[in-house]
Amino acid sequence: MSTSTRSGSAAAAAAPATTTKEEKEIIVIPTFRGENYANWQNAMSAYLEYKSLWHVCQAEPGENPNEKLKGQMLEVWLILNSKIAPEIFTSLNSVCGRNPFKIWTKLKENYATASIYGIYRVCSYYKRINYKDDLLKYIIQIEGALAEMSTIGLDVMNNL
């Protein structure tokens, strides 16, 4: 192999990736699939705060939002669309439209309240945890289940 080929390969390997800054930022946020709400909502709300967009999920935009707010709403909608499983997002979108406040509120109602569905979901998640010769993994799973229970308002730590 010639020297020019080696240096050409090295240059190609050192070439910058085509991923943009925003794409790299959103990659670290897990996709919400229905069972990881506590982890997802912590990461997503922090990301939206970082992007100065969290306020869009915290207040109803009103009847006639200004152009700046409309742009922010669309940006948040696109971010949520990319980080919520399609089957969940399609259902949310059919009820809430492109309103991030309504989407976030509906997510909290469905996954972060002590409704019958919420209690069933976190209890079944807890019951599926089994110790399989890896204590650290088992502890992490138990902590995750307790965090999910805490998210819906069940105070299990004081009742243990």
Dump pLDDT digits (tens) for 65-76: 999 999 999 999
Residue with tokens 């949520």: 80
pLDDT at 112 over 80: no
d(CA 151, CA 96): 22
d(CA 17, CA 36): 30
Using one digit for the tens of pLDDT, what is the confidence trace for 1-17? Answer: 444 444 444 444 444 44
Residue with tokens 């976030």: 104
The model's confidence at residue 18, banded by pLDDT at 50, 70 and 90, is low
Q: What is the pLDDT of residue 100?
A: 97
End-to-end CA gap in the chain: 68
d(CA 8, CA 12): 6
Domain boundaries, the chain: 22-112, 113-160
More confident residue, 129 or 147: 129
d(CA 78, CA 53): 12
